């Protein structure tokens, strides 16, 4: 089972309000906030409040939670200024492990959108 909170985890500290963030959404299970180094005009992260280390750590008990993140993503993307499908849209990215480019070891879904080309931040 995943711990509810890892006291050393930066995203656990953000969801608990111990580190400030620019919040996009919150409910009992999920938290979304703007990425501190945006790679696109709209760039936020959706995370489960419980400390799931990575997608490689997800188990069948997490299926509903992960599905909830994916269904929430398009709604928040529009709210945050992404243009509608199909001319607009957004990217969803989940980096997993060192070779997957994961730097923060608390599962998060990147949502990136806005007019292209995106500048590198
Ligand atoms: P990863 O490479 O693990 O998929 O992405 C981690 C993301 O978290 C990066 O895009 C990085 O900019 C973002 N990030 C890291 N630390 C913080 C923080 O303290 N606050 C916010 N808002 N974003 C962070
Ligand atoms: Zn965590």
Check pLDDT > 80 for residue 119.
no
90-93 sheet: strands from edge to edge: 23-26, 30-34, 42-48, 109-113, 90-93
The atom number, within ligand 1, closest to the CA of 101 reads 2
Average pLDDT, the chain: 97
Domain annotation covers residue 3: no
Place of tokens 């409040």: 49
Domain annotation covers residue 119: no
Domain annotation covers residue 85: yes
Q: Cite the beta strand spans of the chain per DSSP E.
A: 23-26, 30-34, 42-48, 90-93, 109-113
Quote the ligand 1 centre to 37 CA distance (angstroms): 7
- ipTM at complex level: 0.99
What is the per-residue pLDDT across 2-37, written as a single tens digit (0 to 9) for each? 999 999 999 999 999 999 999 999 999 999 999 999
- Model confidence band, residue 120 (pLDDT cutoffs 50, 70, 90): low
Quote the ligand 1 centre to 102 CA distance (angstroms): 9
CATH for 83: 3.30.428.10
Check pLDDT > 60 for residue 113.
yes
Which residue range forms the structural domain that includes residue 63? 10-113
Q: Report the number of distinct structural domains present in the chain.
A: 1
CA dihedral defined by 48, 49, 52, 55, rounded to 10 degrees? 10
Query: Residues 2, 51, 106, 108: which is the catalytic one?
Result: 108
Active site residue 110: no
Check pLDDT > 90 for residue 116.
yes
Quote the ligand 1 centre to 46 CA distance (angstroms): 11
What is the per-residue pLDDT across 41-88, written as a single tens digit (0 to 9) for each? 999 999 999 999 999 999 999 999 999 999 999 999 999 999 999 999
Domain annotation covers residue 121: no
pLDDT of residue 21: 98
Domain annotation covers residue 39: yes
pLDDT of residue 7: 96
Ligand in closest contact with the CA of 6: 2
Domain annotation covers residue 50: yes
Domain annotation covers residue 51: yes
Domain annotation covers residue 57: yes
CA separation for the pair 10, 3 (Å, rounded) = 14
């Amino acid at each position: 089972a995943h711990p509810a909170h890892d006291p050393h985890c930066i995203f656990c500290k953000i969801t608990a309000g111990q580190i400030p963030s620019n919040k996009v959404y919150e409910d009992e299970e999920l938290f979304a906030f703007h990425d501190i180094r945006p790679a696109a005009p709209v760039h936020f992260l959706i995370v489960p409040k419980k400390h799931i280390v990575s997608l490689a750590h997800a188990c069948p008990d997490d299926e509903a939670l992960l599905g909830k993140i994916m269904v929430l993503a398009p709604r928040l993307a529009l709210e945050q200024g992404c243009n509608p499908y199909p001319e607009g849209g957004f990217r969803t990215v989940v980096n997993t492990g060192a070779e997957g480019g994961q730097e923060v070891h608390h599962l998060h879904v990147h949502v990136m959108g806005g007019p292209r080309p995106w500048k590198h931040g």
